[in-house]
């Protein structure tokens, strides 16, 4: 659930959900996780829903805040700013998706880097980075790492596969079916492009 904490906190803060119950966003998310994840049925219901876990959690945080508001209204009259919350939810849903994609990519990159370091092949990540991110040719990368352009290409291809597998594993854990992974990755690219 660590990959979801920060995006959910920022979502709660940006949409005004946390302000609507006069709490910090971190408190809202912690309370949400504590109340929902304590129940095996909550995750079983997610499994039956067919939804991606991030969408299930985003919907769940709204329900959790609604329950908090209702409980507080019983105890003390709390001024509600529900209209303001609803007005920003759509924009913040897009922001949540972007934050989630970035958290997923960060986790996948960290996994690949750790795996390569554990095998004594940390240089392969740097080769991948120089070629794909810094847009250097395989010839240039090869000269930097004292190998041929073909060896550079092989290393980059291998690391790209490891990264793809790490992303796919995270998406599967989020509830994305195998046959929908490519479409989900294309959707992630669109989110990062701001479309």
The answer to whether the CB of 108 falls within 8 A of the CB of 164 is: no
In the chain, the percentage of residues whose pLDDT exceeds 70 is 90
Q: What is the pLDDT of residues 29-41, one digit of tens each?
A: 998 888 888 778 8
- Say what the pTM is: 0.62
Res. 78 pLDDT band, cuts 50 70 90: very low
Compute the average pLDDT of residues 13-22: 85
Query: Residue 147 pLDDT > 90, yes or no?
Result: yes
Q: Name the band, by pLDDT with cuts 50, 70 and 90, for residue 81.
A: low
CA-CA-CA-CA dihedral for 145, 149, 150, 155, to nearest 10:
40
CB under 8 Å to 128, separation ≥6 — which residues? 155, 156, 159, 160, 163
Residue 153 has a pLDDT of 95
Q: Where does residue 140 rank: exposed (0-12), middle (13-18), buried (19+ CB within 10 A)? A: middle
**Residue 112: per-residue pLDDT:** 96
The set of residues, in sequence order, having a beta carbon less than 8 Å from that of 52 and lying 6+ positions away, is: 174, 175, 176, 184
């Amino acid at each position: 659930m660590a990959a979801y904490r920060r995006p959910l906190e920022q979502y709660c803060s940006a949409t005004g959900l946390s302000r609507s119950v006069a709490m910090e966003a971190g408190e809202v998310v912690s309370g949400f996780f504590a109340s929902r994840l304590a129940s095996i049925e909550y995750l079983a219901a997610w499994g039956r829903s067919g939804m991606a876990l991030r969408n299930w959690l985003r919907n769940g945080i709204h329900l959790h805040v609604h329950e908090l508001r209702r409980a507080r209204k019983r105890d003390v009259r709390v001024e509600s700013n529900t209209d303001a919350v609803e007005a920003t939810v759509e924009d913040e849903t897009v922001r949540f998706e972007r934050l989630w994609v970035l958290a997923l990519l960060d986790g996948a990159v960290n996994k690949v880097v750790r795996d390569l370091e554990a095998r004594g092949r940390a240089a392969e990540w740097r080769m991948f980075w120089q070629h794909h991110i810094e847009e250097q040719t395989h010839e240039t990368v090869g000269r930097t790492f004292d190998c041929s352009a073909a060896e550079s290409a092989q290393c980059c291809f291998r690391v790209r596969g490891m990264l793809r597998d790490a992303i796919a594993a995270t998406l599967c854990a989020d509830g994305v079916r195998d046959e929908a992974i490519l479409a989900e990755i294309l959707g992630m690219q669109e989110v990062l492009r701001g479309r």
